[in-house]
Structure formats: C-alpha cells, structure tokens
C-alpha cells in the first residue's frame, strides 16, 4: 500500500507516477522538437518546432489534471489545453501552406555559377 503524502491525500505512488509521466512527456517533446529539421524557411521551421512543444504542454496539462489538486493550476491546465490545441491548428495550417525549402540558389550563387559557364575567347 502506498504511503500517505502530506498534500491533499497525494501518495508517494502518485508522486512517482506524476514524475515518471512528466519525464516521459518532456522527453517525447524534446525528441519531436529536435526531429524538426531546418528547411531554410524560418516561419516553417518555427511552426515545425513549436507543434511538438505545444503538444508536450497539452500532455503535461492533462497530467496535471489527473494528479493536481490546486484549483488555480487545474484551471490554468484546462486553458493551456484549449489554447495550445488552437495554436497547433493554426501552425499546422501554416505548415500546410508554406513551402518546405527556400530556393537553393541565392543571387550570389547564381552569379558565380553564371561566371563559370561563360566561355572565354
């Protein structure tokens, strides 16, 4: 049987489970953010990294709702879930509309390539 904790009936088992689930969610969030490879388009790259960040925040808020007792934090967690879902939807639409790559040739590169293709007499 789990030991009784001090705060509002939270057991040591609950505390360990809370910590374990938060660690799991944070690891997945960081993996998702790191998996977003730079495309050269800052807008797209920002959205691609922020989506897993927001998803992590949602999952952390859901864990708070399962384990937390403070009504202020529970309300905050509920708001985070609603707002972050809406923001993910906006960022996903932007990703769907935004090209993944910027042109591969910059003006300076184009000029250099042009010079190499010219034939000299």
Q: Does 26 map to a domain?
A: yes
Q: How many domains does the chain have?
A: 1
Q: Does 113 map to a domain?
A: no
Distance CA 89, CA 112 (A): 42
Q: Does 117 map to a domain?
A: no
Distance CA 65, CA 44 (A): 32
Q: Does 121 map to a domain?
A: no
Cβ-based neighbours of 102, under 8 Å, separated by 6 or more = 39, 40, 41
Domain that holds residue 51: 12-33+40-102
For 11, the 3-state DSSP assignment is strand
Q: Does 109 map to a domain?
A: no
Q: Does 94 map to a domain?
A: yes
Show pLDDT as tens, one digit a residue, over the chain (121 residues): 344 444 556 788 999 999 999 999 999 999 999 999 999 999 999 999 999 999 999 999 999 999 999 999 999 999 999 999 999 999 999 999 987 775 554 444 444 444 444 444 4
């Amino acid at each position: 049987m789990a030991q009784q904790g001090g705060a509002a009936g939270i057991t040591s088992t609950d505390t360990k489970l809370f910590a374990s689930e938060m660690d799991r969610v944070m690891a997945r969030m960081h993996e998702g953010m790191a998996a977003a490879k730079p495309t050269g388009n800052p807008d797209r790259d920002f959205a691609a990294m922020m989506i897993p960040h927001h998803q992590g925040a949602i999952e952390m808020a859901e864990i708070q709702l399962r384990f937390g007792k403070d009504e202020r934090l529970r309300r905050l967690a509920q708001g985070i879930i609603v707002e972050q879902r809406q923001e993910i939807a906006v960022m996903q639409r932007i990703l769907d509309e935004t090209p993944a790559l910027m042109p591969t040739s910059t003006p300076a590169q184009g000029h250099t390539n042009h010079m190499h293709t010219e034939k000299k007499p």
